[in-house]
Each structure stands twice: as structure tokens, then as C-alpha cells.
Structure 1
Amino acid sequence: MDTQHDNALPPALAGIPAPVPPSGVVHLVIPHTSRFTVVGNHLAQHAELSLVAIGVGVHIQSLPAGTEVGIKALAARFPEGEVKIARALRELEAHGYLSRTRVRLTKGRVATRTVFCNQPGAVLRGGVVPVVGPAVRSTAPAPTLVREHVHVPVAVPEPVAKAVPVPEPTAVPEEPRPVPEPVPVQEAPHAPVRLPSRTAPTPPRRPLPHPQALTPELRQAASALLADLRRHAEELVLSEEAVEELVPGVAAWLERDATTDAIRRALTADLPKPLKHPARFLRHRLTALLPPPLPGVHDLAQPRRAPVTPFQTCDGCERAFRSHDPGHCRDCRAQYWEAA
């Protein structure tokens, strides 16, 4: 008797007449009677605006005309910093919801005039006259949501005058005309939602390294090393076809002066458990771990330093100057030349 049933609705959802969805959000709609603002889905569900920009746009639309909506005023009202609010205002300005212009006032003062448009798409299409003023607020009680049925009156024929003794025609009632369906109001167009791909594109597989010249000696040493791997790791059992395919990769390592012990350690260390495809695994290691060629003797020599001009002491003013030969500095030589 004390077992809790999970299918029982909470008290907040018990009064919803519509069927409750099994997952996702459930809307508990209570009609507003005062202090509400009409916000379009083109702003509340915009595909390119950030969540901060949507929140700032809804907040600005709910404010009366004349309210300060600058960066510092919004930063003092909300916990977000000035950087986030400035970025959100630039997003709204880029999508046509916000317009900020510099106007010159009397006595040489300059102020910023901010204009917020609740439907930028309708203004771009034309045919809509914007009304400058605060957001629409309703103080009257909200009407009850009742589905209305449109009734088309049936035309009744007028009676014919009986001045002339003519038989009255039989009145045929007109058929009711079909009720036209209401045309949905199109919202402002916005960019379609682009969902990110679930998997990243697979990069192309790097080719197996090949030596400059595959000599018979290199081929023999490479095939023997690959066939001997199963003695050191029982998981690396290769077929003859796999050995022939991997021989150029091992030969490229041997050509770069890599020892057989070094190649064996690189191919058999830290093997995954279980190893399903030994040939693919060895191909990957031979390609990804390929060492560079050994540098030559001249490559390891230290670079020569540029010759440095030594310091000399001037015989006239005893100042130091750079020169290969002792004598006078530039200023003293100029004085001697003028005297001569």
C-alpha cells in the first residue's frame, strides 16, 4: 500500500486539459491580466542570436520609452558584465533589432539615440508603418480563450408583391458558402537552424613510407623482422600478404639508420588489448612514428659567429670607438681635416 507510483501527475499538472507529453517542457499557461509584453518568436527563438542577446532584447522591448538602455545602465541592472552586454547589443544591432545613432543636441552636446524595432523583418518587407512609443502593455482583463465558430447567414429571398396575379416562384434556399480558412501570419524570416554534424570528418589515411631504393638486402631484413615479431608479441601474427605489404615501411626505417631492436620496440610496446587487426596497427605505427633521417657531421657543427670589430681608444679625445686600426675617432678626424 505504501508503494509510490511514478505515473501520478503532480498537483501543478493535474489541471492541464491537454495530454501531457512524455518528455520535454510542459507549458502551464495562465492568462496575463496586467504587466505583460508581446514578444515574437522570431526574437525569442532566433537561430543566430546568443541567449544573452535574446534576453537583453526581450528586456529592452518590455521597457517604457525614455528608459536608459546603455551598456552601463544594463550592467548595473544585471549580473552580466559590460563586455557581455556590449556583445549582445552588437548582435541585436547586426540583425536589425537595435539602432544606435549619435545626434547633436543644443549647446554642442552629443547624445546616443537608441531605437528598438520589435519586427525588423516586417519593416524590411514594407507595408508596415512603425509606431514610435513604448512597448504595448495591456491593463484590461484578458479574454477567455474560446474557439469561435464562424456562422455564415443564409440569404432569405424577399417576398414578391401580389399586385399582379402571378404565381409566386418557389424559393430555393442558397447553399451555405464554405468558410475560408484563416491565413497564418508569416513571421520575420531568419536563417535556418544548422545542426552540427554528430561525427567529425575522417581524415585521409597517410601513405605507408617507402625507401628511396628498395634493395634486396633491405627487403630481406624487413621481411625477416616482420615475421619475427610473433616471437616477441604473440598478438602480432601476420600473413604473407601482410608482410609483403609492410616491407616498404620497415625498409624506410632501416634506410634511416634505425636499428632492428629500436624498430621492434616501437612496434611491440604498449599493444592494445585485444588487438583485432595486427596489420593495420603496424601500418599505423610505421607511418606515425617514422624517425627523421640522421643529420650529417656538417649539420651538427656549431655555426660561425660574425667577426666583431674591436674597440680602440682615440689618440685625441681618448673616447672609445670601433675600428680595426688604432688612431682618431670620427669627430677628431673631422677637426684635423678642417685644420688642414
Structure 2
Amino acid sequence: MDTQQNTALTRALAEVPGPLPTSGVIHIAIPHTDRFTIVGNHLAQHPDLSCTAVGIAVRIQSLPQGIEIGIKALAARCREGEKRIAAALRELEAFGYLQRVRDRLPSGRFITRTVFCNQPTALLRPRRPAAPQHPAAPAQVPTSAPTPTEVPTPAPAQAPTPPPGPDMYAPPPVPPPPLFAAHPAPIFVPLVPPPTAPKPPPAPLPRPDEPTPEPDRAATALLSDLRRHAPQLTLSETDIRHLVPGVAAWLERAAHPDAIRRTLTTDLPHPLRHPAKLLKHRLTALLPPPLPGAHDLTAPARPRITVTPFQTCDDCDRAFRSPTPGHCRDCREHREHREHRSEATRTAA
């Protein structure tokens, strides 16, 4: 059996065109006749996709339409676990190979369709519609000469040619240019930026407003003690000196050391490759605000409303509002009218 295999391999190597390389892989390309899937090198040699993601993409591309490709469905077909499959699907979605499209059915119900595209970059390029294919004219079958017993069919009478008129020698009408349909919109456009897009600079590590030696010593002790609570957070002296201002900023904002320790050691990823980068991210992104002052916690004083008291009119005993006692508005107007008439009478006399 080994001899047959060696002989077949030797014969296949002899059929490889060109000289065989002295090192590296040698490809024996046997054409497929059934059960094959075409995979582009942009996927097979993708520089930013993991081998797991490439393998999952090839597995999905080989499946027929309508097959479930969720995490549990792929875990039942593959040897990888659900975590690795979920990470691979996230990679494929980030680079546009996998997309989830929300669609509305005629009944009004919304569903989510899972779309896999073998060339996501080709969807962004404008595409022309395929040229219509005209059916070929049927070939004319030559007829044999009529036999003596056959009667030839007379040719149909042609319409008489009209006399030449003014439009007889006009140039033939120019056919209108073919109408090209507008470029169809792509099925979907990846919502994530391409891997070559510039990334925003990371936020700087927070620093205390008034650096003092006491918070720095407490921050150094807290960072050095983290390895007792989480061995994967064993930091070097350089990392500790770099992270001390961030912890000092937390202490300046009255954060308790136990609260800082829980924030830095809870829910650590496995495996943790860069502990200093993780601590810097948490110290920057989870920085609490400063504690409010005592005057900020008190409720604002409500404005005092001055209420005008009631008074009793000296003439009619009617109640009216006024800061001082006296007469109501009607009595004042009546008194002013009487004084005006008395003044007019004296003037006339």
C-alpha cells in the first residue's frame, strides 16, 4: 500500500510544471469536479484575520442557503468551542464578510437576516447591470425543390413602392442610446471603519490637580499589592511609576483604596497579555467625578414672596389690599372727583 502511494506521489510530482523548488511547499493541483467552493486569496491570506476566522469563513461559504450559522449551530459542526467561534464571527463582521441586516416582511414583522459576502470590497464598487442576452435567431432549414406532384406556393404579393417624396431621401433616424439603469445600491455597507482608517489617539492617563507625596506613596503601595489579589497583575517598577499618577488622581477624588482595588482586579480577561495597558484603560475610562461640596448638596433657597395685607376702607368699610391703611380705589376716585368739582366751582366764582 505504501508503494502504491509513493508511486502515485512520484507520478504527480513528475507532472508538476517547471522545476521543483528545493524548499517550501509544493502544490499538486488536481481539478475538482464536484463538491468544491471557490475561496479568494483576499480571505485565505487576510493579514488581519486569525486562522480560526478564515476557517469559519470557509465553512460558512461552503454551506447552502438557509443553513443556520449561529454560534451554537457552528459549534455543533466544528471542533472549536463557542468562545472561539464567537470571536471569529466578530472578526468576520468587523471586516465586512459577515453582516446582519434587519428586514421587514410584508406582514409588518421585522426579522434579522444573516448575510455572508465572499468579496465585501466588491460591493463598494459600482457595478453595471448585465447586458441583456438576445436569443439567437432560429436557423433557416433549406427546403428541397418541389416534386412533380407538389404544387409550389405562390409568393405573397408585395405592396407597391410609393413614389419618391420629400422624406424619401432623408437620413434614417438615429436610434436612441441604450438606457443604462442606475448603479444598484449595495446590499449592505460595513458600518465599521476599514482597518487602514486612522484611529483616534488614546486618552491620557489622569493626573492629580495638586500632586503631593502622600497620594503617590499610597498609589505605589496599592499598585504593588495588586499581585496578592490577582497574580496576573504583577507589574514591573516601570509600569508602577507610569500608573501612579492615575491612582493618585482617584485618591484625590476621595475614592477608597478598596474600591480602586476592586475596579482594577474584577472581571480580568483570560489570558491577560498586557496588564499595564488594561490598568491604564480602567484608570482612564472609569475615573469617578470629584465629590460635590457641602454647598452643592443643599437645596437652593426658594425666593420669598411678599403678600400685601388686607385693609379696611375708612369710608365704605370695604376690604382691599394695601401696605398702608386708607381708602379703597372707588372711594379715592370719588374723593378726587369731588375735589375737582369744588376747585372748578371756586374758579368760576
TM-score normalised by structure 2 residue count: 0.40
Q: What is the TM-score normalised by the length of structure 1?
A: 0.41
Name the larger-Rg structure: 2
Q: Which has the higher helix share?
A: 2
